[in-house]
Amino acid sequence: MKSPIRIAVTGATGQICYNLLYRIAAGEMLGKDQPVILQLHDITEAQPLFDGIVMELYDCAFPLLSGIITTDNPEVAFNNADIVLLVGARPRGENMERKDLLAANSPIFIQNGRALNTAAKRNVKVLVVGNPANTNAYITIKNAPDLDPSNFSAMLRLDHNRALSQVALKLHVPVSDIKRMIVWGNHSNTQFPDLSHATVGNNSVSSLITDPAWIENYFIPVVQKRGTAIIEARRGKSSAASAANAIINHMQDWIFGTREGDWVSMGVPSNGSYDIPRGVIYSFPVTCQNGQYKIVEGLEISPSDREKMQKSYQELVTEQEAIKHLLA
Ligand code: NAI
């Protein structure tokens, strides 16, 4: 039997985690032969909610679940952690602008970064999910100076999966037949879902779409605004099952590698590729091997697509400006 992997999760009493923890404990993220220890964090007020969550975890009698810790102290949660999923964040309240959300969440991710720096394994893999995910990842990295920035990523996988599904529905092909989809940029409605490099078998997706206006008028806005559409359809609740699923997909690919001839979208520190300056956490197409991600280089980008990519970059710069004083 392998030794257990320690997985820390914040926001663990929230709705994404109710769709996530049981799947992790069942072996869906790390495999059916990998024992796990769940190190669950939430704020003090939420601690009573752990009672039911832990009772249900035990009632599933998961053979792979080797231990459960619950705490309101991030250092305890991240202690010796191999994987950290930063899901916990303040939800966007009514009349709250994006900059207010940024200000409300910055202290959470400053604290997360410091606790990771102190307590987590040096080769920990950290996925930032809580919104605004890219800038929260940036804040976390800045506060964990002893950890390599390549240990961190922000989640754009839900957007990537949404883009795959829209194309699969349009072309009546299985999702698994579509390769090389990209979502560039910020996890917000400035993101750029880009199917111009995507393929189905030996064909490009673009060549199979007989009404090209569909891409600009339907595909791009539907993927960009899907989060809002889900909130409306779920009477105020945001994506939870699909977000949990995306976390599992993201971590699986990062740890076990992307499939041959394909890539995935991940929010990672820019290395300057595609005219996106270093210093932002930006979603790029990446391949993963041996637990490391690598930005796919050298794709041809049209001038109008470059403009879309820059628009999302500019939004990230504005977000960084808005929290700069908190990092000083
Ligand atoms: P939720 O509101 O159900 O749960 C949020 C959790 O965060 C709660 O357990 C809450 O107690 C905790 N929390 C609140 N303040 C905190 C603090 N100061 N420190 C630590 N934890 C704190 O929200 P849900 O639906 O589980 O979503 C979690 C986050 O994930 C949200 O920020 C949401 O916007 C984001 N999200 C990101 C997606 C992505 O693709 N990157 C997709 C879907 C959601």
Confidence of residue 273 (pLDDT cuts 50, 70, 90): very high
Residue nearest to atom 3 of ligand 1 (CA): 14
Q: Residue 306 sits in a domain of what CATH number?
A: 3.90.110.10
**Most ligand 1 atoms within 8 A of CB, residue of 96, 238, 281 to mutate:** 238
Question: Token pair for residue 57?
Answer: 């975890």
Q: Is 117 among the annotated ligand-binding positions?
A: no
Is 123 contained in some domain?
A: yes
Read off the pLDDT of residues 154-170 as tens digits, 9 standing for 90 and up. Answer: 999 999 999 999 999 99
- What is the average pLDDT value for the chain, to the nearest integer? 96
Say yes or no: 177 and 279 in one domain. yes
Q: How does DSSP assign 82-96, residue by residue?
A: SEEEE---PPPPTT-
Which residue among 90, 125, 154 closes a domain? 154
Say yes or no: 161 and 149 in one domain. no
Using CA atoms, how far apart are residues 74 and 34, in angstroms rounded to an integer? 24
How is the beta sheet containing 152-154 ordered, strand by strand?
65-71, 36-41, 5-10, 83-86, 125-128, 152-154, 264-269, 281-289, 292-295
Say yes or no: 143 and 206 in one domain. no
Is 39 contained in some domain?
A: yes
Give the pLDDT confidence score for residue 96 in this predicted structure.
76
Say yes or no: 144 and 161 in one domain. no
Confidence of residue 65 (pLDDT cuts 50, 70, 90): very high
Asked if 118 contacts 79 with a C-beta cutoff of 8 angstroms, the reply is no
Is 172 contained in some domain?
A: yes
Is 327 contained in some domain?
A: no
Is 328 contained in some domain?
A: no
Say yes or no: 68 and 178 in one domain. no
Give the domain extent around 19: 5-154
Catalytic residue among 187, 197, 250, 325: 187
Is 247 contained in some domain?
A: yes
Is 210 contained in some domain?
A: yes
CA of 214 to the centre of ligand 1 (A): 33
Give the pLDDT confidence score for residue 179 in this predicted structure.
98
Which residue among 154, 173, 201 closes a domain? 154
Spell out which residues line ligand 1, taking CB within 6 angstroms: 10-11, 13-16, 42-43, 46, 87-91, 108, 129-131, 133, 155, 158, 187, 238-240, 243
Q: Is 41 a catalytic residue?
A: no
Using CA atoms, how far apart are residues 249 and 288, in angstroms rounded to an integer? 12
Say yes or no: 198 and 317 in one domain. yes
Say yes or no: 69 and 176 in one domain. no
**Most ligand 1 atoms within 8 A of CB, residue of 9, 10, 41, 42 to mutate:** 42
Residue 46 has pLDDT above 80, yes or no: yes
Confidence of residue 100 (pLDDT cuts 50, 70, 90): confident
Asked if 186 contacts 316 with a C-beta cutoff of 8 angstroms, the reply is yes
Give the pLDDT confidence score for residue 263 in this predicted structure.
98
Q: Residue 127 sits in a domain of what CATH number?
A: 3.40.50.720
Q: Is 11 among the annotated ligand-binding positions?
A: yes
Give the largest CA-CA distance in the chain: 56
Which residue among 154, 175, 200 closes a domain? 154
Say yes or no: 89 and 235 in one domain. no
Residue percentage of the chain with pLDDT more than 90? 93
Q: Is 12 among the annotated ligand-binding positions?
A: yes
Is 19 contained in some domain?
A: yes
CA of 280 to the centre of ligand 1 (A): 22
Say yes or no: 140 and 38 in one domain. yes
CA of 14 to the centre of ligand 1 (A): 6
Confidence of residue 265 (pLDDT cuts 50, 70, 90): very high
Asked if 43 contacts 110 with a C-beta cutoff of 8 angstroms, the reply is no
Phi, psi at residue 259, to the nearest 5°? Answer: -75, 155
Read off the pLDDT of residues 192-240 as tens digits, 9 standing for 90 and up. Answer: 999 999 999 999 999 999 998 999 999 999 999 999 999 999 998 899 9
Structurally, the chain folds into a number of domains equal to 2
Residue 91 has pLDDT above 90, yes or no: no
Phi, psi at residue 176, to the nearest 5°? Answer: -65, -15
Confidence of residue 1 (pLDDT cuts 50, 70, 90): confident
Q: Is 131 among the annotated ligand-binding positions?
A: yes
CB atoms within 10 A of CB 122: 8
3-state secondary structure (DSSP) of residue 171 = helix
Residue percentage of the chain with pLDDT more than 70? 99
Residue 99 has pLDDT above 90, yes or no: no
Say yes or no: 31 and 141 in one domain. yes
Say yes or no: 200 and 237 in one domain. yes
Residue 93 has pLDDT above 80, yes or no: no
Phi, psi at residue 190, to the nearest 5°? Answer: -90, -5
ipTM (interface predicted TM): 0.98
Say yes or no: 126 and 177 in one domain. no
